[in-house]
Amino acid sequence: MTFRHGAALRRPLAALVGELREGDELIVVDNASGDATPDVAAEVAPAARVLRNAENAGFPAACNVGAATASGDLLVFLNPDAAVAPGWREAIARPLDDRLGWAAWQALVSAEEGRVVNTRGGVVHFTGIAWAGGAGEPLGQPARRTSSSPSAPQTRTSADPASAPGFVSGACLAIPRAEFERLGGFAGDFFLYHEDVDLSLRVKLAGGTLGVAADALVDHDYDFDKGPAKWRYLERNRWATLIRTFPASLLLLLAPALLATELAVTASAMANGWLGQKVRAKLDVLGALPRLWRERREIQASREVSAGEFASAFTAELDSPHLGAASRSRVLGALLRGYWRVVLRLLGA
């Protein structure tokens, strides 16, 4: 998916074209950029199918459009500012070719021209807050393990649920087309952010395993700060994911923690100048509740795992550098771990 990337698209698209084999499809979906972006795509990748949306429908909706026109067995979604490394094509397809049993997986994504990790597999807190695992670590540095954190970058030869990431990153996400269609694709109404978390949790609800193809390398021109509106999308879509994917028994046990988190996030929004975005996120969720409950019923009706099995993939740790003082508080950390142990015990996990 592209939106006003213009000349910045040349390098990552040229790298991608150099990796493709005969028979591979390259589909570029432009979200009504209104500039030369689709022309650049057609110039750099003349064999690509360039689809032009009439409006900016957002990242997940554009990905769904591209997937609907694809005919291959494996779908790979790639951000327009993510440049693949040599050997990427073979490595990203290997989990399917080797029948590892993964339902979805991601590349090892770096940043700063390959110097540091952008994500080696996402981490999901039991409150629905999610972040990129290993962000900022020197590339190749062993991961700091928690009870639910993804393992360090390495080539895996089997599907191991215990070392699976909490979610796979949409910066470079691979999923068999049949699985993607069975799950209904991305949540198109999310517009931006958290759509990869939502899809990954639906994979887990359906009994699927996630993985990281750590020898498939992608360098992401990543900047966390994307303006105040980012917080609106993150909060709105976090709540939409909780409503859609969390089993009822888990939501009930998490109610006190979710209320406390809501108060803490609102206080943080007030202190850091994005309270207006937080209020808009609340209004968005309230307005979407009828649709979200309909989607919830459909998703939960096809659930293949127990609430305890689903919950076991989450972490109680707040070890993201973007969570500020909360990530450094030993008292808060101890309270969260104790609370989560009780929840897991009650769920039989």
State pLDDT tens for residues 291-336. 999 999 999 999 999 999 999 999 999 988 777 787 788 999 999 9
Nearest to 247 by CA among 297, 292, 286, 184: 297
Whether residue 50 lies inside any domain: the answer is: yes
Residue 317 lies in a domain: yes
Task: Using the 3D structure, point to which of 30, 56, 82 is the last residue of a domain.
Answer: 56
Domain assignment present for 273: yes
Say yes or no to pLDDT of 159 above 60. Answer: no
Mean pLDDT of the chain: 90
Alpha-carbon distance of 294 to 285, in angstroms, equals 14
- How large is the greatest C-alpha to C-alpha distance in the chain, in angstroms? 58
pLDDT, residue 162, reads 55
Q: Which two tokens stand for residue 90?
A: 């073979």
Given a cut of 60, whether residue 158 has pLDDT beyond it is no
pLDDT at 152 over 50: no
Band the pLDDT of 205: cuts 50, 70, 90: very high
Give the domain-ending residue among 56, 76, 100: 56
37 inside domain:
yes
- Supply the range of the domain harboring residue 294: 230-347
Question: Would you say residue 93 lies in a domain?
Answer: no
Does the pLDDT of residue 284 top 70, yes or no? yes
Lookup: tokens for 234? 């993150």
pLDDT tens-digit series, residues 68-81: 999 999 999 999 99
pLDDT higher than threshold 80 for residue 340: yes
pLDDT tens-digit profile of 11-48?
999 999 999 999 999 999 999 888 888 889 999 999 99
- Residue 83: which pLDDT band, with cuts at 50, 70 and 90? very high
pTM attached to this predicted model? 0.92
* β-strands 82-84, 74-78 pairing: unpaired
Confidence band for 3, pLDDT divided at 50, 70 and 90: confident
Counted domains in the chain? 2
d(CA 235, CA 225): 15
Name which of 229, 243, 241, 322 is nearest 281 in CA terms.
Answer: 229
In a domain, 98, yes or no: no
Element (H, E) at 27: strand 27-30
How are beta strands 209-220 and 82-84 bridged, if at all? antiparallel
> pLDDT: is 159 or 231 the higher one?
231
Q: How confident is the model at residue 149 (pLDDT cuts 50, 70, 90)?
A: very low
Confidence (pLDDT) at 225: 66
Domain boundary among 18, 35, 56: 56
- If you average pLDDT over residues 112-127, what whole number do you get? 95
Is 142's pLDDT higher than 60? no
Please indicate, yes or no, if residue 195 is contained in any of the structural domains: no
Q: Is position 211 within any domain?
A: no
